[in-house]
Amino acid sequence: MEWSRLKARLLEAGSVRLSGEPADRYVSRSAAGPSAGTSGSLFFSVGKGRRVRVGIDEAGSIEIVHRGGGEADLFVDGDLVRGRLEPAALHCPRQAYITVSGTCIFHCRYCPVPGLPGRRKEIAEIVELVRSVADRIDAIAITSGVASSIEEEEAYVLDVVAALALFGLPIGVSIYPGPETPVRLHALGVVEVKFNLETATEALFCEMCPGLSWTAIHEALSSSVALFGRGRVFSNIIVGLGETDEDLEQVMADLAAAGVIPVLRPLTPAASLAGRPRPSADRLLRLCAAHERILRQAGLDPRQALTMCPACTGCDLVPGRDA
């Protein structure tokens, strides 16, 4: 099975059954992203930067057998694929990707974070987390919920970024932006930002993210390109919220034309969307082909990303890396 098809199949499934030798050092647990609030996830790699992140589910129909030392066999749809389990530094391989506020006052319909017993990390704690993995990371990435207000969260994240400058590593930040967020992050030396539109259309955003503003995110993305440069600004778009493929192609084209790299994130059914199906492998492959074409026409290459999701690649099909 070719890699892009295999990865799309695993993203469609979302989780695997884990057996074999103990694999605790390869299990990642996070307060954000597709594995938030779950028993954990694994990174399965076939080399050459090709990896996929999957949740762990004892009832899963796909199985990973850990043979020891990270060597692993993946059994999927009658095929055997040999690979390795990659240890995550913090949240993902080669990055300290930290959720600094693991709680949120907003209730986006797809997001489990408001219902989790999360907390805000102390800045000294964050510095020590990065220090503990500093010998095996190439970048730092910061993401956050909104603990009390958008303005207060920004101020806190700015303090976190300032404290992490001592490591001399590229820093990427993904938070809900205020009007001055891009300028303030850029002034502190942040190299990349990711402000997530989340949905393919504004109407769907209003349905999924009550209390938040599609326009504010668009404006932050536009102003960020002038500061950080084309290809250094990203935006997650969730696949599987009720949009059409045409909707997704349009928002991808609009973002790419502005110099923003869209990240297509398969829905992880959770919160009030817990009963929704995951997008199919066939749909993910179709969209990846369109994604690749749109980025190529815009002269954008996600392989150049230094931080956050486009650099990790575990949760998405990434043009240029996976297809």
Residue 191, domain CATH: 3.20.20.70
Q: Which amino acid is at 179?
A: P
List CB contacts of 85: < 8 A, sequence separation 6 or more: 23, 26, 42, 43, 44, 45, 64, 66, 70, 72
The reply to whether 67 falls in a domain is yes
The reply to whether 323 falls in a domain is no
End-of-domain residue from the set 47, 63, 86: 86
Please tell me whether residues 213 and 256 are part of one structural domain. yes
DSSP tag of 90? B
In the predicted structure, residue 267 carries a pLDDT above the cut 60? yes
In the predicted structure, residue 51 carries a pLDDT above the cut 60? yes
Question: Can you give the pLDDT at residue 208?
Answer: 98
Please tell me whether residues 55 and 116 are part of one structural domain. no
The reply to whether 320 falls in a domain is no
* CA-based nearest residue to 235, from 286, 294, 174, 162: 174
The reply to whether 133 falls in a domain is yes
DSSP H/E element including 55: strand 50-56
Q: Which residue range(s) make up the domain with 217?
A: 91-312
Please tell me whether residues 148 and 295 are part of one structural domain. yes
Please tell me whether residues 157 and 277 are part of one structural domain. yes
Please tell me whether residues 69 and 201 are part of one structural domain. no
End-of-domain residue from the set 22, 57, 86: 86
Mean of all residue pLDDT scores within the chain: 96
End-of-domain residue from the set 86, 101, 131: 86
Q: Which of 37-51, 93-107, 194-208 has the lowest mean pLDDT?
A: 37-51
Which of the four pLDDT bands, split at 50, 70 and 90, describes residue 35? low
Please tell me whether residues 28 and 117 are part of one structural domain. no
Please tell me whether residues 15 and 162 are part of one structural domain. no
Q: Give residue-wise pLDDT tens across range 119-173.
A: 999 999 999 999 999 999 999 999 999 999 999 999 999 999 999 999 999 999 9
The 3-state DSSP class for residue 254 equals helix
Question: Can you give the pLDDT at residue 200?
Answer: 98
As for how many domains the chain has, the answer is 2
In the predicted structure, residue 37 carries a pLDDT above the cut 80? no
Please tell me whether residues 66 and 205 are part of one structural domain. no
Kindly state the average pLDDT of the residues 275-297: 98
153 touches 164 (CB < 8 A): no
Which of the four pLDDT bands, split at 50, 70 and 90, describes residue 29? confident
Please tell me whether residues 56 and 104 are part of one structural domain. no
Say how far apart CA 38 and CA 158 lie, in whole Å.
29
Phi, psi of 153 (to 5 degrees): -65, -40
Please tell me whether residues 121 and 193 are part of one structural domain. yes
> Of all residues in the chain, what percent carry a pLDDT higher than 70?
97
Q: Which of 28-32, 85-89, 219-223 has the lowest mean pLDDT?
A: 28-32
Question: Can you give the pLDDT at residue 260?
Answer: 98
The reply to whether 36 falls in a domain is yes
pTM: 0.96
The reply to whether 125 falls in a domain is yes
**Tokens, residue 276:** 């929704």
The reply to whether 318 falls in a domain is no
Please tell me whether residues 48 and 134 are part of one structural domain. no
The reply to whether 77 falls in a domain is yes
Please tell me whether residues 146 and 30 are part of one structural domain. no
Site of tokens 């536009």: 222
Question: Can you give the pLDDT at residue 300?
Answer: 98
Question: Can you give the pLDDT at residue 31?
Answer: 59
